[in-house]
Structure 1
C-alpha cells in the first residue's frame, strides 16, 4: 500500500518510495462532526434547529517504522516530522482510496520505538479543517480525466460535463453535500465567456448571478465563490448574487448571452 503526500504548492510524491524503511499500514477519517445551532423558545417544549454545520474531523495515518539501529530510527523520525509538520496544509491520499484526498495539518504525536528496539508503529493524527474529503480531480477536468474518479463517488450512469454552451444545461453534483460558496465557503469557480449582459440561474434552488454590463467575445467573467471579476477586475456591475449546487442534478438556465461558454469548476466533497 502507498501513501501520497503533497505539500501546499508542491508536487505529490509517494512517501513509501521516498522512505523505504517506512511502511504505510492504514489511513482513516473520523465520523462527520455535525453541529446544530438550536433555538430555545420560552414556554415551548424542546428546541428548534436553526442551522447545521460540519466541523473539522480527524484523519489518522498508521505507519510502521523499521530502522537499522537507533540512530537510523531517529533519522527516520526527523524526516517524517519534516514532511508532516508544516505551517500550511498538506494533502494526503492513499492507495486504498486513490480518488479522494484530505487537506490536513498534523497534530503533535510522539514517534517512539518499541522498547529495546529500533522499530515501532505510530498513529499520526491530523486535523482535517473542512471535515470532508475532496475528489482528486476538479469538475472542469471532466470528462477528459474520468480515470481520476472511482467507485463510491456517487457518479451517474450518463457522461459528465461541466461546460454549458446553450441557454439550458445540467450540472451534476455527486458530492455528499450541496456546494454552497456563500454560507459554507465551498470552492466553486464559474467562468463565463460570450457576448452580452447575462443572467445565470440555478432553477433547482433559485440562486442566480446577473451581470448588468455587456461583455464582448474577448471578455472573461469569473465568479469565484461569491466574488465576481470581469477581466480580473472586481469593479463590475452585478446583482451581488451567487450560485449554489444541490446534490445531484442542477437545472441551469442562461439568458442574454450569445456564443456562450460557461464552465463550472469545483472539487467533489465526501464524508
Structure 2
C-alpha cells in the first residue's frame, strides 16, 4: 500500500512534501473531528433552554509521523530540521494525496520527539495542528474549474456529471455551491467575490433561492470593473460601496437561481472557494 503523503505550504513559500524536507520522516495520516458550539438561553422559572445559535469552532488535527534514523547524530539533525520547519510562526496550508484538492489552513503545536525506546533507531510521534476556521476548503476557487476532466477538482467534490459554470453573460442563470454549508459573506465572513461588467443605468443581482440581493445604483458602460468582495464593493480597484444599496449575496448549498435586472448586458463571474466540514 502506498504511503500517505503530506504537502505543506508555509506562508508564501512554495508547497513541499514533508518527507522531502526531513530525512527518514514518514507521514502516517491524520484524524480530526469538526466542532460545533451551541449557545443556549436559560430563562428563570422556565424549564429547559432555548437554542440561540450554533457555530463551527476551531479544532485540532492530529497528524502522525514515523522517523527512522541511523545514529544519534542523525536523530538530532532530523529533530532540529522538523522544529525549524514548523517554528516559523506562519499560517500553513496543508493537504494530502488522499484529498489532493482539499486544504486546511492551520498553525502547528510542536510535539515531543524521542526514540521509541532506549537504543532504538526510530521515533513515533503525533503533532497537533490548530485549525482556527473550523473548515476545510477547496484548493481551487470556483472559477478555476474550467476543465472538469482535468482532475483538478476532488473526486466526488461536485457530485455532478458535468462541470458547473461560474461565468455568465445572461440575465438569468444558476450558481452551484457544492459546499457543506451556505456561503455567507456577511453573517460568517465567508470569501465570495462577484466580478461584474455591465452596460446600463444600474444593476441588481437577486438570488431568488434565498432572497438575498445586491444593487449597484450607478450607470456603467461595460468597461468598468465592479467587484462585490464579501460585503464591500470596488470600482476599478477603488472603494465604491457608496454606489450600492449595501446589500450582500448568500449562496445556499446546491443550485441558486440568480436574476439580474436593470442592465442591458452583463458579464458576471462568481469566485469563491468551496467550504467543507
Same fold (TM over 0.5): yes
In the TM superposition, residue 151 of structure 1 has moved relative to its aligned partner by 2.8
Consecutive unaligned residues in structure 1, runs of 5 or more:
none
Determine the structure 2 residue equivalent to 1:108. 110
- Kindly report which structure 2 residues correspond to 1:169-184, keeping only aligned pairs within 5 A, or say none: 169-184=173-188
Determine the structure 2 residue equivalent to 1:15. 18
1:267 to 268, 273, 276: 273
In the TM superposition, residue 217 of structure 1 has moved relative to its aligned partner by 2.0
1:53 to 32, 52, 55: 55
2-structure distance, mates of 1:139, 1:154:
11
> 2:197·2:225 contact (CA, 8 Å) conserved in 1?
yes
In the TM superposition, residue 20 of structure 1 has moved relative to its aligned partner by 4.5
> 2:145·2:163 contact (CA, 8 Å) conserved in 1?
no
TM norm structure 1: 0.94
In the TM superposition, residue 164 of structure 1 has moved relative to its aligned partner by 1.6
TM norm structure 2: 0.92
How many residue pairs match? The answer is 270
Determine the structure 2 residue equivalent to 1:5. 8
Consecutive unaligned residues in structure 2, runs of 5 or more:
none
Determine the structure 1 residue equivalent to 2:231. 226
> 2:147·2:163 contact (CA, 8 Å) conserved in 1?
no
2-structure distance, mates of 1:110, 1:43:
51
Q: Deviations along 1:78-133, whole A, 9 cap, x unmatched?
A: 21122223322101111122121111000132122222224201111000011121
Q: Name the SS of the counterpart of 2:104 in structure 1.
A: strand
**CA RMSD, aligned part only?**
1.6
Determine the structure 1 residue equivalent to 2:154. 150
- Kindly report which structure 2 residues correspond to 1:1-271, keeping only aligned pairs within 5 A, or say none: 1-29=4-32, 31-115=33-117, 116-144=119-147, 147-196=151-200, 197-235=202-240, 236-271=242-277
2-structure distance, mates of 1:156, 1:86:
40
Runs of 4+ in 1 over 6 A off after TM superposition: none
> 2:25·2:66 contact (CA, 8 Å) conserved in 1?
yes
Q: Deviations along 1:164-208, whole A, 9 cap, x unmatched?
A: 211111111111111111111111111111212200111111111
> 2:58·2:131 contact (CA, 8 Å) conserved in 1?
yes
